[in-house]
Amino acid sequence: MAGDVALDETLLPLVSAHGSLLAASGPVLHEYGSSVRIGIGGGGRPLAALNEESLSDAEKSGLQAFRLRLSEPYRARKASRPYADVPWGSSTAVPQLHRDRQAVIRGAPVAQDPSAAPAGAPEAKRLAGRVAVGLVIVSGPGSLAMTDAQTRKIVAEVQNGLSYLGGQAPARDVTFVYDIQVAQIDVPDTQSAPPAGTKPDDLYEYYERPWRDAALAAIGQAPGGSGIRSYIRSIKAQKSAQAAYCAFFTHYTLHHFAYCSGSYLTMQYSNDGWGPENLDRIFAHETGHIFGAPDEYAESGCDCGGAWGFHRRPNLNCESCADNSVDCIMKRNTWAMCDETPYHLGYTMTGV
């Protein structure tokens, strides 16, 4: 077991003597490049032999993350993670995952150009097949710098969170394919209060825009929604993926510490009161929103209706109205999933 995800994960031996890609013997869960693919199954032989000197930076990151997840200290920290099983909406001990229900899946932050508005997540219709994941790790000046250790932690937390989501797919047909960018920028933090009268939805953009657009420039993209879409589409094409999304990780001040904006996520490394040890579950939860899964905790204002996600199903596990609401990653800090979320995520379901 890697991390605290109840799955048998293994580093797949991949490259033949002729350098061609060998078919994997089982489902591939994570792909960082042709030489580093992590699969399901392996019978307790997690690490294949590998010529590590020839690996790309992304492959090295993925391998490092997997080794970290296999390590005893990492697994011990996961076994005693703070706020385990606490509902996301709990206001007693930790901040709410979303400040208000509008933040669940908020509108496009850069919708001034209607043709640029990513209504929903057009590049991420369902969690099935190859899913390109762009990680944009934003490193600013001084205390805003993302250290190498923090970058390694982010890659490992994302891997742990997506091992859970991928491992839950009934058809075992989800492969996360990564693009990892470290964006070095030098813009200052936005710490001043926003102008009076700023609309609630614009508060996200007020804090996010300066560093985000600088990060987009650092990875060769235009500012705002058009740059984000261009990046997501480029990794989708590069990785021959059926779906794609991206996530920015930062130390910069945000209006809220984790949120989903159509096709992308914004995550603060400190993860507010939940702490970096819970980045994996917050990332899994927010990825749920990317694919159209609704919140299920009462404070989100959920109700049991609607037509959510690829399969257009109601939110029957919303704890405000469900008779027997069960644990779920969309409801609390746990590796559990209700019977409806697989449909919301758009997993390949037999009989559907």
x/- map, 40-79, Zn ion, by CB under 5 A: ----------------------------------------
Least CB distance to Zn ion at residue 101 (A) = 9
Q: Given the rule CB under 5 A, which of 25-33, 73-81, 289-297, 342-350 is the region that contacts Zn ion?
A: 289-297
Least CB distance to Zn ion at residue 26 (A) = 32
Least CB distance to Zn ion at residue 256 (A) = 11
Least CB distance to Zn ion at residue 106 (A) = 11
Q: Which residue is nearest to Zn ion (CB)?
A: 295
Residues that bind Zn ion (rule: CB under 5 A) add up to a total of 1
Least CB distance to Zn ion at residue 266 (A) = 13
The answer to the question of residue 31 lying near Zn ion (CB under 5 A) is no
Centre a 10 Å sphere on the Cβ of residue 323 and count the other Cβ atoms it contains. Answer: 6
Residue 157 vs 295, nearer CB to Zn ion: 295
Residue 295 vs 299, nearer CB to Zn ion: 295
Dist. CA 45–CA 42, nearest whole Å = 6
**CA nearest neighbour of 244 among 317, 179, 318:** 179
For the record, the structure tokens of 101 come out as: 């229900």
Q: Given the rule CB under 5 A, which of 23-31, 66-74, 208-216, 294-302 is the region that contacts Zn ion?
A: 294-302
Residue 244 vs 329, nearer CB to Zn ion: 329
Centre a 10 Å sphere on the Cβ of residue 133 and count the other Cβ atoms it contains. Answer: 28
The answer to the question of residue 299 lying near Zn ion (CB under 5 A) is no
Q: Given the rule CB under 5 A, which of 59-67, 112-120, 124-132, 293-301 is the region that contacts Zn ion?
A: 293-301
Residue 70 vs 104, nearer CB to Zn ion: 104
Least CB distance to Zn ion at residue 197 (A) = 27
Residue 59 vs 296, nearer CB to Zn ion: 296
**CA nearest neighbour of 99 among 250, 254, 307:** 254
Least CB distance to Zn ion at residue 293 (A) = 8
The answer to the question of residue 295 lying near Zn ion (CB under 5 A) is yes
Per-residue three-class SS string for the chain: CCCCCCCCEEECCCECCCCCECCCCCCEEEEEECCEEEEECCCCCCCCCCCHHHCCHHHHHHHHHHHHHHCHHHHHHHHCCCCCCCECCCCCCCCCCCCCHHHCCCCCCCCCCHHHCCCCCCCCCCCCEEEEEEEEEEECCHHHCCCHHHHHHHHHHHHHHHHHHHHCCCCCCEEEEEEEEEEECCCCCCCCCCCCCCCHHHHHHHHHHHHHHHHHHHCCCCCHHHHHHHHHHHHHHHCCCCEEEEEEEECCCCCCCEEEECCEEEEECCCHHHCHHHHHHHHHHHHHHHCCCCCCCHHHCCCCCCCECCCCECCCCCCCCCCCCCCCCCCECCCCCCCCHHHHHCCCCCCC
Residue 4 vs 295, nearer CB to Zn ion: 295
Residue 33 vs 89, nearer CB to Zn ion: 89
Residue 229 vs 344, nearer CB to Zn ion: 344
Least CB distance to Zn ion at residue 88 (A) = 6
Q: Which parts of 113-172 interact with Zn ion (CB under 5 A)?
A: none
Residue 179 vs 295, nearer CB to Zn ion: 295
Least CB distance to Zn ion at residue 127 (A) = 16
Cβ contact 267:258 at 8 Å = yes
Q: Given the rule CB under 5 A, which of 200-208, 243-251, 295-303, 331-339 is the region that contacts Zn ion?
A: 295-303
User: Which residues would be at the binding site for Zn ion (CB under 5 A)?
Assistant: 295
